[in-house]
């Protein structure tokens, strides 16, 4: 039986979020004129805050604004690699590196489970030594163009737990894996915390900290 270590990415493994920086990274290096659309990006965030759109629509809308509706995968490849190198060099919590090294040394299967797009999360995970990635997919057409549309669910909240369960099933280890450790900074991951054998709240915000204290979950400061 294989023990698991499942990590959230943004603000858990990384110090700062990655999604908007990725969009800006692409816009600046590919089509700088798209920066003129930033007021629309700000407007979409206000609409999300007012609950007029959900997180998935917010992502799709801003992807379309700052990257484009359909972009060749080959055209994005160098941008993804450059962004991943930047994140690994400057945006990884020291405690995350230590936890990854510890879990790998103990023979755990390392899984990154993130609401961020696999479009770039795969590249970050590979550089950090993860074995698998569960994340938000992008629709990719027969012409190998990446569309500004999510493939399936946005890997956030209860959907993340459903996607973890689907991954366990597809990997053939559902019901046969060993001890599962889960790390995250945010209370939206409560379903995965509840499922895990060993939930670990990493640099938790207030609501998660209170929940972790009530449930007796481990709390760690990764710097």
Secondary structure (3-state) at 159: helix
Mean pLDDT confidence for 171-197: 92
User: Smallest Cα–Cα separation from 19: which of 161, 144, 150, 190?
Assistant: 150
User: Per-residue pLDDT tens for 107-135?
Assistant: 999 999 999 999 999 999 999 999 999 99
Per-residue tokens: 32: 């700088």
pLDDT value at 142 more than 80: no
What band does 163 get if pLDDT is binned at 50, 70 and 90? very high
pLDDT at residue 2, rounded to an integer: 87
Q: In terms of C-beta distances under 8 Å and separation of at least 24 residues, what long-range contacts does 160-168 make, across chains too?
A: 160/113, 160/115, 160/134, 160/188, 160/189, 160/191, 160/192, 161/191, 161/192, 161/195, 163/113, 163/134, 164/6, 164/111, 164/113, 164/134, 164/192, 164/195, 167/111, 167/132, 167/134
Give the DSSP per-residue string, 37-60.
GHHHHHHHHHHHHTTSS-HHHHHH
| 105 Cβ contact partners less than 8 Å away, ≥ 6 residues apart | none
What band does 174 get if pLDDT is binned at 50, 70 and 90? confident
Q: Domain limits of the chain?
A: 4-220
> For the chain, what percent of residues have pLDDT higher than 70?
100
User: Per-residue pLDDT tens for 12-61?
Assistant: 999 999 999 999 999 999 999 999 999 999 999 999 999 999 999 999 99
CATH of span 4-220: 3.40.50.1000
Per-residue tokens: 178: 């060993």
Gap between the Cα atoms of 171 and 26, Å rounded? 33
pTM of the full structure: 0.94
Mean pLDDT confidence for 181-197: 98
What band does 195 get if pLDDT is binned at 50, 70 and 90? very high
Angle formed by the axes of helices 55-66 and 38-49, nearest 10°: 180
Mean pLDDT for the chain? Answer: 96
Gap between the Cα atoms of 112 and 132, Å rounded? 6
């Amino acid at each position: 039986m294989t023990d698991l270590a499942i990590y959230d990415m943004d603000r858990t493994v990384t110090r700062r979020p990655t999604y908007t920086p990725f969009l800006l990274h692409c816009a600046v290096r590919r089509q700088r004129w798209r920066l003129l659309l930033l007021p629309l990006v700000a407007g979409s965030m206000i609409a999300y805050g007012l609950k007029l759109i959900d997180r998935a629509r917010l992502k799709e809308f801003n992807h379309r604004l700052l990257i484009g509706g359909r972009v060749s995968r080959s055209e994005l490849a160098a941008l993804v690699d450059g962004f991943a190198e930047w994140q690994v060099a400057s945006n990884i919590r020291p405690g995350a590196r230590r936890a990854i090294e510890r879990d790998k040394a103990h023979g755990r299967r390392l899984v990154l489970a993130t609401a961020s797009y696999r479009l770039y999360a795969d590249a970050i995970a590979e550089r950090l030594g993860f074995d698998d990635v569960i994340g938000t997919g992008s629709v990719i057409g027969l012409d190998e163009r990446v569309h500004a549309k999510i493939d399936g669910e946005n890997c956030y909240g209860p959907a993340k737990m459903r996607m973890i369960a689907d991954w366990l099933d597809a990997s053939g280890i559902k019901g046969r894996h060993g001890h599962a450790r889960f790390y995250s900074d945010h209370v939206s991951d409560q379903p995965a915390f509840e499922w895990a054998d060993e939930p670990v709240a990493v640099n938790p915000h207030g609501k998660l900290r209170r929940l972790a204290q009530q449930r007796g979950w481990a709390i760690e400061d990764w710097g």
